[in-house]
Structure 1
Amino acid sequence: MDTIETIRNEWIGQAERPSARPTHVRRFMRVVRSLSMWIARLLERRRSRLALLEMTDEQLKDIGVSRCAAHREGLRPFWD
C-alpha cells in the first residue's frame, strides 16, 4: 500500500506545482489567445451580417427585421 500512496502523492504534487513556463511566455500566450478570440468574433460578426443580406423577405419578417435594416446592417464594416 505504501507504493500506491507514494505514486498518488507524486501525481498530486505535480498537479499543484506552478507552470514551468516563464511569466513572459504565459503572458504572450494569453495575448495570442485573446487576439485569436477577437479575430474569431469579428469574422463571426461579418458572417452573420452577410447572412442577413442573403435572407428572403419572409425570413426577415420571421426575425422581425426589415429589408432596409438588414441591408444597412449587412453593409456595416466587420470591426463596427
Structure 2
Amino acid sequence: MVTIFYIAPNWESIHMDCVVKRVQSEFLAAMAMSTIKAINRAGTEAFGYADRPSSWKAYVRRLVRMVRSLATLLDHLYERRRSRLALLEMTDEQLKDIGISRCDAHREGLKAFWD
C-alpha cells in the first residue's frame, strides 16, 4: 500500500471561506489602488500638472514662478516689519491722530514680522 501526502499551499484550500477571504482581500486591494490613483489624478489636475509636458522649459517656468512668489512673500513681510517699526517711531500726537495708544503701538511694533 502506498500513501501519498499532498501539502497544499495557503492559497489552495479545500475550505471555501479561505477562498472567499482571498478574493475579498484581492478585491479590496484593487479598490484601494484605484482610489489612490484617482486621488493622485485629481490632485495633479487640481494644480494644473495633468497635461503639462515634463520638459526642461516647464521646469524652469515652475521654478521662476516659485521664486517670484517667494520674493513677493518676503517683500510683504518686510513691508509689514517696516510699518511696525514706523509705529514705534511715531510721537504721541501722531498716534493720537490715527487713533492708536502708545501701548497698542508698542505691542504691535514688537511683534515678529511673520505674525
**Length-normalised TM-score, structure 1:** 0.73
Aligned alpha-carbon RMSD (Å): 1.0
Identify, as 1 or 2, the structure richer in helix: 1
Take 1:64 and 1:30, find their aligned partners in 2: how far apart are those partners?
40
Gaps of 5+ in 1: 1-20
Take 1:23 and 1:62, find their aligned partners in 2: how far apart are those partners?
52
The 4+ residue runs of structure 1 with deviation greater than 4 A are none
Q: How many pairs were matched up?
A: 60
After superposition, the C-alpha distances for 1:45-76 in whole angstroms (9 at most, x for unaligned) are 00000000000000000000000000000000
Take 2:97 and 2:69, find their aligned partners in 1: how far apart are those partners?
35
**Helix, strand or coil: the match of 1:48?**
helix
The letter of the residue matching 1:59 is Q
Take 1:27 and 1:48, find their aligned partners in 2: how far apart are those partners?
32
**Shift, 1:22, TM fit:** 1.0
Identity over aligned pairs, percent: 70
Gaps of 5+ in 2: 1-55
Partner of 2:76: 41
**Shift, 1:79, TM fit:** 0.7
